[in-house]
Amino acid sequence: AVGSAAGPRGRGLLDRVAAAGVLLGVRADSGAESLSGGRDELVTTGLDGLSDRLRRFQALGASFAVWAMSSGSAIDYGALRTLTVNCQAAARFAYTCQTLGVVPVIRVGTRMRDGTPAQRSAARAAALLSVCGHLEDIEVDLPSVVLSTEAECVHDADPVTGGPLVALPDRLGGVALTAGDNALSTAVAAVTAVCEADPPWPVTFYLGREVTRPALLAWRGRTGSVRAGHQALRDGLTTACAALGGQALAAAPGS
Protein backbone atom coordinates (compact mmCIF):
# COMPACT_ATOMS: atom_id res chain seq x y z
CA ALA A 1 0.00 0.00 0.00
CA VAL A 2 1.22 3.47 -0.77
CA GLY A 3 0.50 4.71 2.74
CA SER A 4 3.51 2.87 4.15
CA ALA A 5 5.96 4.79 1.97
CA ALA A 6 5.45 8.34 3.12
CA GLY A 7 9.04 9.22 4.01
CA PRO A 8 11.76 10.57 1.68
CA ARG A 9 13.17 7.09 1.03
CA GLY A 10 9.67 5.78 0.39
CA ARG A 11 8.99 8.65 -1.97
CA GLY A 12 11.99 7.62 -4.06
CA LEU A 13 10.72 4.05 -4.19
CA LEU A 14 7.28 5.23 -5.29
CA ASP A 15 8.83 7.34 -8.03
CA ARG A 16 10.85 4.38 -9.32
CA VAL A 17 7.80 2.12 -9.28
CA ALA A 18 5.73 4.70 -11.16
CA ALA A 19 8.55 5.23 -13.69
CA ALA A 20 8.45 1.48 -14.39
CA GLY A 21 4.81 1.80 -15.46
CA VAL A 22 3.30 0.21 -12.35
CA LEU A 23 0.02 1.68 -11.10
CA LEU A 24 -0.16 2.21 -7.36
CA GLY A 25 -3.27 1.57 -5.31
CA VAL A 26 -4.53 1.36 -1.75
CA ARG A 27 -7.06 -0.62 0.28
CA ALA A 28 -9.69 2.02 1.10
CA ASP A 29 -12.15 0.24 3.38
CA SER A 30 -11.56 -0.26 7.11
CA GLY A 31 -12.77 -3.83 7.43
CA ALA A 32 -16.22 -5.09 8.38
CA GLU A 33 -18.49 -4.78 11.37
CA SER A 34 -21.67 -6.50 12.49
CA LEU A 35 -24.80 -5.23 10.78
CA SER A 36 -27.34 -6.36 13.36
CA GLY A 37 -25.48 -8.21 16.06
CA GLY A 38 -25.51 -11.41 14.02
CA ARG A 39 -22.19 -13.10 13.45
CA ASP A 40 -22.81 -13.67 9.73
CA GLU A 41 -24.32 -10.28 8.88
CA LEU A 42 -21.37 -8.00 8.20
CA VAL A 43 -21.11 -4.68 6.41
CA THR A 44 -17.89 -3.22 5.02
CA THR A 45 -17.00 0.06 6.70
CA GLY A 46 -14.79 3.00 5.78
CA LEU A 47 -17.06 5.60 4.21
CA ASP A 48 -16.45 8.07 7.06
CA GLY A 49 -13.52 10.28 6.12
CA LEU A 50 -13.10 8.44 2.81
CA SER A 51 -12.61 11.58 0.72
CA ASP A 52 -9.80 12.86 2.95
CA ARG A 53 -8.06 9.47 2.95
CA LEU A 54 -8.29 9.18 -0.82
CA ARG A 55 -6.85 12.67 -1.30
CA ARG A 56 -3.95 11.81 0.98
CA PHE A 57 -3.21 8.54 -0.83
CA GLN A 58 -3.66 10.24 -4.19
CA ALA A 59 -0.96 12.74 -3.21
CA LEU A 60 1.33 9.77 -2.55
CA GLY A 61 0.71 8.41 -6.03
CA ALA A 62 -2.33 6.14 -5.72
CA SER A 63 -4.39 5.92 -8.89
CA PHE A 64 -6.86 3.25 -7.76
CA ALA A 65 -8.52 2.20 -4.50
CA VAL A 66 -9.95 -1.14 -3.41
CA TRP A 67 -13.16 -1.83 -1.49
CA ALA A 68 -13.61 -5.41 -0.23
CA MET A 69 -17.38 -5.88 -0.13
CA SER A 70 -18.75 -8.24 2.52
CA SER A 71 -21.10 -10.48 0.56
CA GLY A 72 -22.21 -12.70 3.43
CA SER A 73 -23.06 -16.38 3.33
CA ALA A 74 -24.39 -18.01 0.18
CA ILE A 75 -27.20 -19.70 2.15
CA ASP A 76 -27.76 -17.41 5.13
CA TYR A 77 -31.35 -16.28 5.68
CA GLY A 78 -30.21 -12.68 5.99
CA ALA A 79 -28.10 -12.73 2.83
CA LEU A 80 -30.39 -10.38 0.86
CA ARG A 81 -30.36 -7.74 3.59
CA THR A 82 -26.61 -8.01 3.97
CA LEU A 83 -26.09 -7.85 0.21
CA THR A 84 -28.25 -4.73 -0.19
CA VAL A 85 -26.49 -2.78 2.55
CA ASN A 86 -23.05 -3.74 1.25
CA CYS A 87 -23.90 -2.88 -2.35
CA GLN A 88 -25.10 0.55 -1.26
CA ALA A 89 -21.82 1.16 0.58
CA ALA A 90 -19.75 -0.08 -2.37
CA ALA A 91 -21.63 2.21 -4.75
CA ARG A 92 -21.00 5.21 -2.49
CA PHE A 93 -17.31 4.29 -2.36
CA ALA A 94 -17.12 4.14 -6.17
CA TYR A 95 -18.94 7.44 -6.55
CA THR A 96 -16.55 9.14 -4.11
CA CYS A 97 -13.55 7.71 -5.94
CA GLN A 98 -14.74 9.00 -9.28
CA THR A 99 -15.37 12.50 -7.97
CA LEU A 100 -11.67 12.60 -7.04
CA GLY A 101 -10.32 10.94 -10.18
CA VAL A 102 -9.44 7.64 -8.48
CA VAL A 103 -10.36 4.34 -10.15
CA PRO A 104 -12.60 2.22 -7.88
CA VAL A 105 -11.89 -1.52 -7.62
CA ILE A 106 -14.67 -3.44 -5.84
CA ARG A 107 -14.11 -6.99 -4.62
CA VAL A 108 -17.36 -8.96 -4.75
CA GLY A 109 -18.04 -12.41 -3.34
CA THR A 110 -14.44 -13.59 -3.24
CA ARG A 111 -14.58 -15.60 0.00
CA MET A 112 -17.88 -17.45 0.05
CA ARG A 113 -17.40 -20.81 1.74
CA ASP A 114 -20.90 -21.92 2.77
CA GLY A 115 -23.24 -23.93 0.59
CA THR A 116 -22.66 -26.09 -2.44
CA PRO A 117 -20.56 -24.89 -5.41
CA ALA A 118 -23.80 -24.20 -7.30
CA GLN A 119 -25.17 -22.13 -4.41
CA ARG A 120 -21.96 -20.14 -4.11
CA SER A 121 -21.91 -19.52 -7.85
CA ALA A 122 -25.53 -18.32 -7.84
CA ALA A 123 -24.89 -16.09 -4.81
CA ARG A 124 -21.84 -14.58 -6.51
CA ALA A 125 -23.85 -13.85 -9.66
CA ALA A 126 -26.55 -12.18 -7.55
CA ALA A 127 -23.93 -10.07 -5.77
CA LEU A 128 -22.37 -8.93 -9.06
CA LEU A 129 -25.76 -8.09 -10.53
CA SER A 130 -26.82 -6.22 -7.39
CA VAL A 131 -23.69 -4.10 -7.06
CA CYS A 132 -23.86 -3.12 -10.74
CA GLY A 133 -27.48 -2.08 -10.24
CA HIS A 134 -26.59 0.10 -7.26
CA LEU A 135 -23.69 1.66 -9.17
CA GLU A 136 -26.04 2.64 -11.98
CA ASP A 137 -28.67 3.93 -9.53
CA ILE A 138 -26.33 6.70 -8.35
CA GLU A 139 -24.87 7.27 -11.83
CA VAL A 140 -21.39 5.85 -11.27
CA ASP A 141 -19.53 5.61 -14.59
CA LEU A 142 -19.33 1.83 -15.16
CA PRO A 143 -16.59 2.02 -17.85
CA SER A 144 -14.35 3.47 -15.14
CA VAL A 145 -15.06 0.72 -12.56
CA VAL A 146 -13.17 -2.55 -12.05
CA LEU A 147 -14.95 -5.43 -10.31
CA SER A 148 -12.99 -8.24 -8.72
CA THR A 149 -14.48 -11.68 -8.14
CA GLU A 150 -13.33 -15.26 -7.81
CA ALA A 151 -12.22 -17.16 -10.90
CA GLU A 152 -14.34 -20.27 -11.41
CA CYS A 153 -13.71 -23.32 -13.55
CA VAL A 154 -16.99 -23.71 -15.45
CA HIS A 155 -17.02 -27.18 -16.98
CA ASP A 156 -18.72 -27.76 -20.34
CA ALA A 157 -19.90 -24.15 -20.54
CA ASP A 158 -18.72 -20.76 -21.69
CA PRO A 159 -17.05 -19.22 -18.59
CA VAL A 160 -18.39 -15.78 -19.48
CA THR A 161 -22.00 -16.70 -20.25
CA GLY A 162 -22.30 -19.92 -18.24
CA GLY A 163 -21.21 -18.68 -14.81
CA PRO A 164 -21.47 -15.67 -12.46
CA LEU A 165 -19.69 -13.38 -14.94
CA VAL A 166 -22.82 -13.39 -17.11
CA ALA A 167 -24.24 -10.84 -14.64
CA LEU A 168 -21.66 -8.22 -15.64
CA PRO A 169 -22.56 -5.50 -18.17
CA ASP A 170 -20.47 -5.30 -21.35
CA ARG A 171 -19.46 -1.69 -20.67
CA LEU A 172 -17.76 -2.44 -17.37
CA GLY A 173 -14.23 -1.03 -17.18
CA GLY A 174 -12.57 -4.33 -16.28
CA VAL A 175 -12.72 -7.57 -14.32
CA ALA A 176 -9.95 -8.64 -11.91
CA LEU A 177 -10.15 -12.34 -11.07
CA THR A 178 -8.86 -13.68 -7.77
CA ALA A 179 -7.94 -17.26 -6.94
CA GLY A 180 -10.03 -17.19 -3.76
CA ASP A 181 -9.03 -20.23 -1.71
CA ASN A 182 -7.75 -22.07 -4.78
CA ALA A 183 -4.15 -22.61 -5.82
CA LEU A 184 -2.64 -20.29 -8.41
CA SER A 185 -2.64 -23.12 -10.97
CA THR A 186 -6.41 -23.55 -10.60
CA ALA A 187 -7.01 -19.82 -10.96
CA VAL A 188 -4.71 -19.70 -13.99
CA ALA A 189 -6.80 -22.38 -15.71
CA ALA A 190 -10.00 -20.45 -14.98
CA VAL A 191 -8.57 -17.09 -16.11
CA THR A 192 -7.19 -18.66 -19.29
CA ALA A 193 -10.64 -20.01 -20.11
CA VAL A 194 -12.21 -16.58 -19.55
CA CYS A 195 -9.65 -14.83 -21.75
CA GLU A 196 -10.09 -17.38 -24.54
CA ALA A 197 -13.87 -16.84 -24.45
CA ASP A 198 -13.34 -13.30 -25.80
CA PRO A 199 -15.02 -11.38 -22.93
CA PRO A 200 -16.43 -7.89 -23.59
CA TRP A 201 -14.33 -6.32 -20.82
CA PRO A 202 -10.56 -6.39 -20.07
CA VAL A 203 -9.50 -9.21 -17.73
CA THR A 204 -6.65 -9.36 -15.24
CA PHE A 205 -5.67 -11.05 -11.98
CA TYR A 206 -6.19 -9.66 -8.52
CA LEU A 207 -2.94 -11.04 -7.11
CA GLY A 208 -1.97 -11.32 -3.48
CA ARG A 209 -1.26 -14.39 -1.38
CA GLU A 210 -1.33 -16.62 -4.45
CA VAL A 211 2.06 -15.29 -5.56
CA THR A 212 3.49 -13.89 -2.33
CA ARG A 213 3.04 -17.04 -0.22
CA PRO A 214 5.43 -19.22 -2.31
CA ALA A 215 7.96 -16.38 -2.34
CA LEU A 216 7.80 -15.98 1.43
CA LEU A 217 8.17 -19.72 1.94
CA ALA A 218 11.24 -19.74 -0.31
CA TRP A 219 12.76 -16.79 1.55
CA ARG A 220 11.81 -17.54 5.20
CA GLY A 221 13.67 -14.44 6.35
CA ARG A 222 17.08 -15.87 5.52
CA THR A 223 19.66 -13.60 3.91
CA GLY A 224 20.95 -16.41 1.74
CA SER A 225 17.46 -17.17 0.39
CA VAL A 226 16.58 -13.69 -0.91
CA ARG A 227 17.32 -14.72 -4.49
CA ALA A 228 15.16 -17.83 -4.13
CA GLY A 229 12.29 -15.66 -2.88
CA HIS A 230 12.70 -13.29 -5.81
CA GLN A 231 12.67 -16.21 -8.23
CA ALA A 232 9.52 -17.69 -6.71
CA LEU A 233 7.77 -14.33 -7.04
CA ARG A 234 8.88 -14.00 -10.68
CA ASP A 235 7.67 -17.51 -11.44
CA GLY A 236 4.22 -16.77 -10.03
CA LEU A 237 3.90 -13.50 -11.94
CA THR A 238 5.12 -15.13 -15.16
CA THR A 239 2.55 -17.90 -14.80
CA ALA A 240 -0.22 -15.37 -14.21
CA CYS A 241 0.83 -13.16 -17.14
CA ALA A 242 0.84 -16.13 -19.50
CA ALA A 243 -2.80 -16.84 -18.64
CA LEU A 244 -3.82 -13.32 -19.65
CA GLY A 245 -2.84 -13.82 -23.25
CA GLY A 246 -0.90 -10.58 -23.55
CA GLN A 247 -3.22 -8.40 -21.52
CA ALA A 248 -1.72 -6.10 -18.90
CA LEU A 249 -1.27 -7.48 -15.40
CA ALA A 250 -2.60 -5.52 -12.42
CA ALA A 251 -1.59 -6.59 -8.94
CA ALA A 252 -3.88 -5.08 -6.34
CA PRO A 253 -3.07 -4.39 -2.69
CA GLY A 254 -4.81 -5.59 0.41
CA SER A 255 -5.19 -9.27 -0.46
**What does the DSSP assignment read for the chain?**
-GGG--SHHHHHHHHHHHHTTPPEEEE----EEESSS-TT-EEE---TTHHHHHHHHHHTTEEEEEEE-----SS-TTHHHHHHHHHHHHHHHHHHHHHHT-EEEEE-S----SS-HHHHHHHHHHHHHHHHHHHHHTT--GGG-EEEEE----TTS-TTTSSGGGGS-TT-SEEEEE-TTS-HHHHHHHHHHHHHT--SS-EEE--SHHHHHHHHHHHTT-GGGHHHHHHHHHHHHHHHHHHTTTPPP-PPS--
pLDDT of 104 above 90: yes
Q: CB within 8 A of 36, min separation 6: which ones?
A: 78
Model confidence pLDDT, tens digit, residues 105-149 = 999 976 666 677 787 888 888 899 999 999 999 999 999 999 999
User: Of the spans 69-73, 90-94, 189-193, which averages the highest pLDDT?
Assistant: 90-94
How many domains, in total, are found in the chain?
A: 1
The more confidently predicted of residues 200 and 241 is 200
Model confidence pLDDT, tens digit, residues 179-231 = 766 677 777 888 888 888 889 999 888 877 778 888 899 999 999 999 999 99
118 contacts 163 by C-beta, under 8 angstroms: no
> Identity (one letter) of the amino acid at 74?
A
Q: CB within 8 A of 193, min separation 6: which ones?
A: 153, 154, 159
Answer yes or no: is 246 within a domain: no
User: 145, 144, 86: which is closest to 112 by C-alpha?
Assistant: 86
Answer yes or no: is 60 within a domain: yes
User: 83, 103, 87, 89: which is closest to 47 by C-alpha?
Assistant: 89
Answer yes or no: is 150 within a domain: yes
**Residue 161, domain CATH:** 3.20.20.70
User: 172, 169, 240, 160: which is closest to 199 by C-alpha?
Assistant: 160
Answer yes or no: is 199 within a domain: yes
The neighbour count for residue 144, using CB atoms within 10 Å, is: 16
Answer yes or no: is 54 within a domain: yes
Answer yes or no: is 245 within a domain: no
- CA dist 190 and 16 (Å) reads 33
Indicate the range of 81-85, 157-161, 177-181 predicted with least confidence: 177-181
Question: For residue 152, what are the domain limits?
Answer: 2-209
- CA dist 177 and 187 (Å) reads 8
Answer yes or no: is 55 within a domain: yes
Predicted local distance difference test score (pLDDT) of residue 100: 96
End-to-end CA distance of the chain: 11
